[in-house]
Amino acid sequence: KNEVEQSPQNLTAQEGEFITINCSYSVGISALHWLQQHPGGGIVSLFMLSSGKKKHGRLIATINIQEKHSSLHITASHPRDSAVYICAVRGGNEKLTFGTGTRLTIIP
Amino acid sequence: KAGVTQTPRYLIKTRGQQVTLSCSPISGHRSVSWYQQTPGQGLQFLFEYFSETQRNKGNFPGRFSGRQFSNSRSEMNVSTLELGDSALYLCASSLARGGYNEQFFGPGTRLTVL
């Protein structure tokens, strides 16, 4: 079993829909990161959180430390949100461990 | 402020050769981490350097090595290249090590081994 599990693996939605991507992890962590990767490879850090909830524009990230679970939400989705979203956790060994990613496609 | 830069962006090598990739962190950032991304294994941690010292290492063979210079620039080297080393190699920099430090990623170097 992978230390970091993401679901769904692929998600296709219509423009304007509310999107939720889930991340579950099995180890103790000091921080959880949500990353966005567009075609071509560049990775952008969206959020870094260790508790509670963070919001940036249309993106919201939450984490439940007790349940070892985090969610990334996108409100009013837009085709430019189409990308791979990756969850990564920093464990006690200070190494980043990555989920396999969720490929999101928003159809106009 | 300039972002993380990586050179070269693309590289083609043949089996058995060696390769050196370079990463220049954001000015003021002292921690540099390297990652390998392949379609089969996804993103995997290679190593982390801070103050010219390797602080952490992932599960990769000794053919993979790196170093960090006094200006925080980092290089990674892969010797005796294998077909399976074909990947996107990403580096990321942060102000300090581990914990609650945001990482800023470079554009990556796409290595193809023939």
| Residue A29 CB neighbour total at 10 angstroms | 21
CA distance A106 to chain B (A): 22
Does position A92 have pLDDT exceeding 80, yes or no? no
Q: What is the pLDDT of residues B60-92, one digit of tens each?
A: 999 999 999 999 999 999 999 999 999 999 999
Confidence of residue B98 (pLDDT cuts 50, 70, 90): low
Nearest-CB residue to A90 (from B88, B98, B108): B98
One DSSP character per residue, B12-63 reads EE-TT--EEEEEEPPTT--EEEEEEEETTTEEEEEEEEETTEEEEE-S--TT
Q: Using CA atoms, how far apart are residues B45 and B47, in angstroms rounded to an integer?
A: 6
Interface test mutation site (partner A, options B46, B89, B105, max chain A beta carbons within 10 A): B105
Count of C-beta atoms within a 10 Å radius of residue A52: 10
What does residue B28 show for φ and ψ, rounded to 5 degrees?
95, -20
Report the range of poorest mean pLDDT among A23-27, A40-44, A83-87, B2-6. A40-44
Q: What does the pLDDT average to over A3-18?
A: 96
Contacts of B97 in chain A (CB under 8 A): 94
Residue keyed to tokens 């579950």: A24
- Of B26, B34, B45, which to mutate for an interface test with A (greatest number of A Cβ within 10 Å)? B45
- Residue with token string 């090595």: B65
Query: B79 is written with which tokens?
Result: 């010797």
Q: How far is CA A61 from the centre of its chain?
A: 8
**Confidence bin at B52 (pLDDT 50/70/90):** very high
Residue of B nearest to A84 (CA): B42
Instruction: State the pLDDT at residue B99.
Output: 61
> Which one of A43, A98, A100 has the shortest CB-CB distance to B105?
A43
Token representation of residue A43: 């990775």
CB within 8 Å: B103 and A41 = no
- Which residue, B25, B67, B63, B27, is CA-closest to B47? B67
